[in-house]
Structure 1
């Protein structure tokens, strides 16, 4: 079993690497990949960089070069629902790209041309193990659609638009493109995001991002431990 873990920023992966028995590091397409183990589970960890293109490059490399069996995207997100506050956790049942818009051609907003889908589902088995881990840790979480776009969503109006159009519980900048890559490569994936900002927008993010990222990392380390025990 080889698990790929992708974070958008250095803070999202640094502490994960501290828990790894690192075997080697490599750079591919300007992305640094750390290969090693957590317990008896092989792990490939990488900081993709911010945005959908970097995330897609990273995911494709994880799949084609490192042959991961599953991908987990961790990190932070902004809440688009009053059910999730700072340090709560959003688990994706589906991902959507809210900035994909060919509606002038008659398509629904969010439609991904070529695969003819708006919502891409995450893997149910991985998702259930993550939910079990969250319950054991006593963390407040919601399961639903996580929306992705190349925008930092900081206004109440834009958050409401994303929620109204896609019934999304959180917004971020990478998960939808990672899901897109996994879908076309038939690789199971899940997205786990800790809420770093709610109504406060950018100010909340700067204050809480580091601690929020650590929450997601702790959950993923516990998840990997469970996978190792079940192998």
Structure 2
């Protein structure tokens, strides 16, 4: 018998954000709230749209996300873990405000340097010691199909004129999100990451989430709205658009909770 996620005994969905702006709309929507501290971090226990969740702000980067994902798995017995936040766009067909639901992720900064040249490799492995044919982490097909079904008909509001909006509604897509402990503020690097890995967006946490969740045999998703396009002006765009685009990722996440 499938567990009803709206019952009081259901295991919660863990939700991770990196920074306060990503967390704000989710925390505001949380009901029946209790708070607990673990690993010097605040965990908000409550319900979103009637579904039990545990919400935490991890901080930026892969190590911070790994810590929080581990706590969610062990202390709170999460049945799935989702990241909600912003990212830089890599795919030139995407715009600020668009949302990428990551169903594939890889760590673009993990690999081997030989003769000054870097080659990416599957996280946790090196080719001459513990080689693998894998590269990256993929959401199982069944969950991917449920996500696609859940997103049908969902429309997000257009960005305001202050955030560069032109009346166009943000696009929502399933795609590949790259992770690395680097803020990409470089046109050449953006083009290389898109060309080399087929990435639609890039951020600093999701690859670590997938790696931890695989260890615990937990479903995961990575939901990102684009705050910038990972180019030379991305540090300005990130600050300008962060507070307007972050709620879009949160809205998509809430829509997807029943699919987990």
Q: Which position in structure 2 is the counterpart of 1:168?
A: 199
What's the TM-score once normalised by structure 1's chain length?
0.89
Counterpart of 2:256 (choices 187, 212, 223) is: 223
Say if 2:89 and 2:201, in contact at 8 Å, map to a contact too. Answer: yes
Q: Which position in structure 1 is the counterpart of 2:241?
A: 208
Say if 2:147 and 2:259, in contact at 8 Å, map to a contact too. Answer: no
CA separation in 2, counterparts of 1:121 and 1:18?
31
- Alpha-carbon distance, 1:204 to partner: 1.0
Following superposition, which runs of at least 4 residues in structure 1 exceed 4 angstroms of deviation?
105-108
Q: 1:39 to 1:212 in 2, by over 3 A?
A: closer
1:178 is aligned to 2:188: no
After TM superposition, the structure 1 stretch with the greater mean CA deviation from structure 2, 35-44 or 72-81, is 35-44
What's the TM-score once normalised by structure 2's chain length?
0.80
- Number of aligned pairs? 227
Q: Which position in structure 1 is the counterpart of 2:57?
A: 47
1:118 is aligned to 2:135: yes
Counterpart of 1:84 (choices 76, 94, 97) is: 94
What RMSD in Å do the two structures reach over aligned CA positions?
Answer: 2.2
Deviations 1:120-178 (A, max 9, x none): 01244444444344442234123221100000001111111211221111100000000
After TM superposition, the structure 1 stretch with the greater mean CA deviation from structure 2, 27-36 or 171-180, is 27-36
1:109 is aligned to 2:116: no
CA separation in 1, counterparts of 2:22 and 2:196?
29
1:17 is aligned to 2:27: yes
| Structure 2 unmatched runs, 5+ | 6-11, 156-169
User: Which structure has the greater CA radius of gyration?
Assistant: 2
Secondary structure at 2:250 match in 1: helix
| Structure 1 unmatched runs, 5+ | none
Say if 2:14 and 2:78, in contact at 8 Å, map to a contact too. Answer: yes
Q: Which position in structure 1 is the counterpart of 2:67?
A: 57
Say if 1:102 and 1:111, in contact at 8 Å, map to a contact too. Answer: no
